[in-house]
Amino acid sequence: MTRALLVLSDGTIFEGLSFGAEGEAIGEVVFNTSMTGYQEILTDPSYKGQMVAMTYSQIGNYGINTEDVESAGGPKVEGFIVRECPDFPSSWRATLSLSQYLRDNGVVGIEGIDTRALTRHLRNHGAQMGILSTTDPDPAHLLSRVRRHPGISALDLVKEVTTKEQYSWTEGCWRWCSKEVRDLASEIGNKEKTDHRSLPPRPYRVVVYDFGIKFNILRNLVEAGFDVTVVPAETPAEEVLEMNPDGIILSNGPGDPETVTYAIENARRLIGKKPIFGICLGHQILGLAMGGRTYKLKFGHHGGNHPVKDLSTARIEITSQNHNYCVDIASLRGKAKLTHKNLYDGTEEGMVHVEFPLFSVQHHPEAGPGPNDSAHLFRRFREMIGGKT
């Protein structure tokens, strides 16, 4: 196997083995604490510009299938870092191995390093830029190159992952098939999809700004009873208002929210005109559009087990998270109030406007890392549109 090097911008070096594509990648190195869901992580557009280190020891043991993706066009991560990648997946749904999937999509991966040491280093010193190479054996040369990189805060990564064209979405959430349907698996494949005849009526139309939308957000919107239209990130606010939707979604996405200036300006022009629900980057964009500020976390929140308290119900939800930035609610000067709080570090996780029909959350309510505790937020948005809240 080919030797691979991971060099962080502070000079820390990890040597391992290549298990993906040959080549090099530069990105911000973050760690994710999820034990499963690596295919969803790889294809989450919010990871554009980043290299992800998985803290769980074995990644790839159930392989890759054709369906558990969160976006079109293959992986969005810049590089992938694991302790061990089994080359013989055991799931009946697998169509290829993780290493082959990375090779097919040109993603550089490294295995065989001490991911616990890397995680502790990032936790203590913060997320930082790194370079991963299978072709350059000189750590000093790699270090000089990664230090010349301007960092992801200098890039508008949303433009790299947003849709190019407007489209409609009609697929609902997946279900585990009945025995009768499973018996027909050879005819229908292994996708456990909702029967569209069982979906709720869709009296409300929503427009979704795609800053890096995950497919399961769209599925949950359909499941909650929405007619869904997705538009590119730079769509002018006036064009969306001409569509006369019942509500507007600002989606998740990658990078520093302050770089997405067009999205901030569009959100500013939409506030008060239509009910709005912001998710992750969309939440941060709303905070900036209301005149607040965002700040960067030391190493971010990336994983599937973050406890968040809903302050309106005192209910604690186990959530999936993927973000490096937070909204400073105090900086909004009373325009919005805090609705959710992260119980790991006390950071802000959600807000609601004090005057207009608008709320947002920092975590990913569509994700199901086991619990589906936050899926009710899609119904809450429907109730807001219907005038019940």
- pLDDT, tens digit, 9 for 90 and up, residues 70-94: 999 999 999 999 999 998 999 998 9
Are residues 105 and 28 part of one domain?
yes
- What local confidence, expressed as pLDDT, does residue 389 receive? 45
Is there a catalytic annotation at residue 22?
no
Are residues 147 and 181 part of one domain?
no
Q: Which of 153, 187, 215 is a domain's end point?
A: 153
Mean pLDDT for the chain overall: 93
Q: Which of 110, 131, 153 is a domain's end point?
A: 153
State the residue range of the domain holding 112: 3-153
Distance CA 246, CA 383 (A): 12
Name the residue among 75, 19, 17, 69 with its Cα closest to residue 49: 75
Name the active-site residue from 24, 40, 78, 366.
366
- pLDDT, tens digit, 9 for 90 and up, residues 89-109: 999 989 999 999 999 999 999
Residue 114 has pLDDT above 90, yes or no: yes
Are residues 309 and 284 part of one domain?
yes
Is there a catalytic annotation at residue 125?
no
Reduce the DSSP state of residue 81 to 3 states and report it. strand
The number of distinct structural domains making up the chain is 2
Strands of the sheet containing 204-210, edge to edge, are 167-169, 226-232, 204-210, 247-250, 276-279, 358-361, 348-353, 336-342, 293-310, 315-328
Are residues 243 and 372 part of one domain?
yes
Residue 335: partners with Cβ closer than 8 Å, 6 or more residues away: 290, 291, 292, 353, 354, 355
List the single range of 12-26, 117-131, 171-185, 291-305 with lowest mean pLDDT.
171-185
CATH no. for residue 88? 3.50.30.20
Are residues 119 and 43 part of one domain?
yes
- What local confidence, expressed as pLDDT, does residue 173 receive? 85
CATH no. for residue 311? 3.40.50.880
- What local confidence, expressed as pLDDT, does residue 188 receive? 46
- What local confidence, expressed as pLDDT, does residue 96 receive? 95
pLDDT bucket at 372, cuts 50 / 70 / 90: confident
Phi, psi of 147 (to 5 degrees): -70, -20
Are residues 227 and 117 part of one domain?
no
Are residues 76 and 143 part of one domain?
yes
Residue 368 has pLDDT above 90, yes or no: no
Are residues 336 and 216 part of one domain?
yes
The string of DSSP letters for 319-345 reads: EEEEEEEEEEGGGGTTSEEEEEEETTT
Under 8 Å between Cβ of 274 and 171: no
- The Cβ of residue 242 has, within 10 Å, a number of other Cβ atoms equal to 9
Residue 189 has pLDDT above 50, yes or no: no
- What local confidence, expressed as pLDDT, does residue 203 receive? 85
Residue 186 has pLDDT above 50, yes or no: no
Is there a catalytic annotation at residue 364?
yes
Name the active-site residue from 280, 326, 349, 353.
280
- What local confidence, expressed as pLDDT, does residue 30 receive? 98
Summarize the confidence of residues 169-177 as an average pLDDT.
79
Are residues 147 and 230 part of one domain?
no
Are residues 202 and 144 part of one domain?
no
Are residues 196 and 125 part of one domain?
no
Residue 225 has pLDDT above 70, yes or no: yes
Q: Which of 153, 173, 194 is a domain's end point?
A: 153
Are residues 182 and 123 part of one domain?
no
- The Cβ of residue 341 has, within 10 Å, a number of other Cβ atoms equal to 19
pLDDT bucket at 291, cuts 50 / 70 / 90: very high
